[in-house]
Structure 1
Amino acid sequence: MEGRADFDIEEDAGEGAVLFLKGPWLVATIGAVEDDLAAIDRQIARIDLSGISEIDTVGAWMTCSLAERFDAEVTGAGERAARLVKAVEDMGFEGDIAAPRAPLLARVAESAGEKVYHAGTGFRGVIGFLGALIVAFGSVIRHPSRFRGKALVRQLELVGVSALPIVGLMSFLIGIVIAQQGAVQLAQFGAETLTVNLVGRITLRELGVLMTAIMVAGRSGSAFAAQIGTMRLTEEVDAMRTIGINPMEALVVPRVLSAILMMPLLGFYASAVAIIGGAAISSLYLGIPFLNFLQRIQEVVPTYDLWVGLIKAPVFGLIVALAGCYHGMQVKGNSEEVGLRTTMAVVTGIFAVIVLDAFFAVFFTNVGWA
């Protein structure tokens, strides 16, 4: 049929079955016969191209594929068809095409080596970014009129107020889990009443601020990276520099300051809600009255446990905001970089917070706040 690829199979007494290809064998027409070719279940001795009116590289590739499959000879090709078939064969045609790939161990070692090699560059970049942030803070202090108060208020709303529902729900459930699981384990020693100590100390000292920092990294850290990264991609940051606006002062300072200011409040709020969750589950399953649980918290939890959480919170906020803004400023090239840098901001922020929390735990233990 004119305008479409086709084929016939005929028997040759001297050679066996011959596959005659007919019509245009082009990328736009081959699809019509691809399934029929795949369904051939007899041995083909020769592939005849004399009936082909047009052929392109895809048609030549299909011809070579059939020749490889049936171990058949290709004959009857015109000048163009012969040239294309030979070109495909010279490229080292294989039935299953796969990209070259190094062995697994080599790839793992190479990937690890690249990450270690680039770690130094990344560390220097973060230190440089921190230095630029300090300079921007100093500039704002020297010239208060350049401070963007409305931007700070907006970021305080996004980082703090908007996060209250999800942080509260998360903390309430964490308090329930700690109280329930702790009570089950302490019941083996007849010490269910120590559930109050467990919930109070672990939420005020560790989990309240730590889980809040992780939540802020997932919400605000990723938002910082995506927002600034998109501005970098659309050249808005460069435009700000062109008209004399310092991007560090306009974009980074309000975000970092909002995270530092809101993290202690969010951390305390999360700890309080977690304690309420522990008190609720204890009143239902442990027989400890709700108000008695809260009164007992005041007696068994040292004041310095509260200070430990409040001291760590602004540092965690600084780390999360710094990671988000730094990775946002590193975006360049294409939109895929925005997603990559956003992911890196969340991962590095959470990792840094957990590592720093371990250092804080050792430090406060050594100073007697254990």
Structure 2
Amino acid sequence: MSTSMATGSAQLDATATPPRLQVAGDWTLAHYASLEQAVAALKPPLGTDTVIDLSGLGALDTAGASLLAEVLGASRLGDLAQADPTLPAAQRALLQTIGAAMADYREPKLIRQGNTLTDLLSRIGAAMENVWHQQVQLLGFIGLTLQTFARTVLLPRRWRVTSLVAHLEETGLDAVPIVVLLTFMVGAVVAFLGSTVLADFGATIYTVDLVAYSFLREFGVLLTAILMAGRTASAFTAQIGSMKANEEIDAIRALGLDPMELLVLPRVLAMLAALPMLTFLAMIAGLVGGGLVCALVLDIPPVMFVNLIKSDIGVRHFLVGIAKAPVFAFLIAVIGCLEGFKVSGSAESVGEHTTSSVVQSIFVVILIDAVAALFYMEMGW
């Protein structure tokens, strides 16, 4: 390789037949400014019939090679470097590499600047499309869960009893203190506020009916479902998502096991068993909280409180409330498991899908509860 420090040059002899381009000197970063002017004067790229003479080429680096690629064209530069035996091996390799890289290069597309209204409508449309895809995935996962249950329910040897009991303890027994405490406090607040309002009408006795009616039909199951959505759905997503990130689910499939049967079904069944029992405890705790306020503030003794509930509140109100618990339980468990399977493999993805599972679960619970309330009202139940 030449060790001269002469500035590189490119002389085009247009009078020759065919035209001839003489490349000489050092094509390096130190001479980039003058080389760029010489290349611009040639109005690249040159025609394919132009003969290229690289015999006078001195030092060469990537900056000079990129300018040669601009003059000759990326594909022709690579072919020329491969065909010219006079070039040192290092220069041939560099020219071929630059030619291949420049051939794959594409000019980035300019992003069209839209106005505020267009951007807003675009984001709304993207959000709606995302919601639609989520609902389609949820329906498909519900079908897959039901299919797995139907396939295994008649095969006792495939039941995961140990896993079911463990999840039942985690989702049910461990949640009893927080559910009972919260509903007890809410029951007391509802009774206190109800008595304050009803006192203006001289109807404080109906505070008992207010507490019983609200907790048996709505608050008992709704508060419990929201608590389980925040507590258990997030746990399901984090557990399955961590397994997905660590490729443990792939290992389960490699062992010939079904992740739906091994991971999803025990969690769904545990939630189906736990939520109705927790709902019943929440109803009792809410009534106890309301009864305590009635006893302390309204001078309604517990015996009278219970007798008023027995005479004024029918069993159908309890059945209306408890009937919603299995539906909520199934949807919460399925959403939590589905979001766990969506995790892509990073800790950030686990956090995002855990948040998404909680938000979706609470939204679905409130939506289904509102629809059910309208349905019961129209049916007169």
Structure-2-length-normalised TM-score: 0.68
Aligned residue among 211, 224, 244 for 2:223 = 211
- Give the whole-Å Cα distance in 2 for the aligned partners of 1:326 and 1:219: 16
Q: What letter corresponds to residue 157 of structure 1 in structure 2?
A: E
- Give the whole-Å Cα distance in 1 for the aligned partners of 2:151 and 2:299: 58
Is residue 144 of structure 2 the alignment partner of residue 132 of structure 1? yes
- Give the whole-Å Cα distance in 2 for the aligned partners of 1:134 and 1:173: 37
Residue correspondence of structure 1 range 1-370 to structure 2 within 5 A: 108-369=120-381
- Give the whole-Å Cα distance in 1 for the aligned partners of 2:297 and 2:118: 55
**Can you give the 5+ residue segments of structure 1 that lack an aligned partner in the other structure?**
1-100
Q: Deviation of residue 310 (structure 1)? A: 1.3
Provide Cα deviations, 1:136-163, integer angstroms capped at 9, x if missing partner. 1012123221110010001111111000
- Give the whole-Å Cα distance in 1 for the aligned partners of 2:168 and 2:355: 23
- Give the whole-Å Cα distance in 1 for the aligned partners of 2:340 and 2:115: 34
Contact kept, 8 Å, 2:246 with 2:345, in 1: the verdict is: no
State the secondary structure of the residue aligned to 1:314: helix
Provide Cα deviations, 1:313-338, integer angstroms capped at 9, x if missing partner. 11010111111011111111321111
- Give the whole-Å Cα distance in 1 for the aligned partners of 2:294 and 2:370: 30
- Give the whole-Å Cα distance in 2 for the aligned partners of 1:207 and 1:137: 31
RMSD between aligned residues:
1.8
Provide Cα deviations, 1:329-363, integer angstroms capped at 9, x if missing partner. 11113211111101110110010011101111122
Provide Cα deviations, 1:225-244, integer angstroms capped at 9, x if missing partner. 11001111101111101101
- Give the whole-Å Cα distance in 2 for the aligned partners of 1:284 and 1:104: 59
Closer, same or farther: CA 106–178 of 1 in aligned 2, 3 Å: same
Q: What letter corresponds to residue 206 of structure 2 in structure 1?
A: L
- Give the whole-Å Cα distance in 2 for the aligned partners of 1:231 and 1:189: 59
Q: What letter corresponds to residue 332 of structure 1 in structure 2?
A: S
- Give the whole-Å Cα distance in 2 for the aligned partners of 1:126 and 1:357: 18
Contact kept, 8 Å, 2:188 with 2:290, in 1: the verdict is: yes
- Give the whole-Å Cα distance in 1 for the aligned partners of 2:299 and 2:115: 61
Aligned residues: 271
**Can you give the 5+ residue segments of structure 2 that lack an aligned partner in the other structure?**
1-112
- Percent identity reads 41
- Give the whole-Å Cα distance in 2 for the aligned partners of 1:142 and 1:279: 46
Q: Deviation of residue 287 (structure 1)? A: 1.1
Q: Deviation of residue 114 (structure 1)? A: 1.2
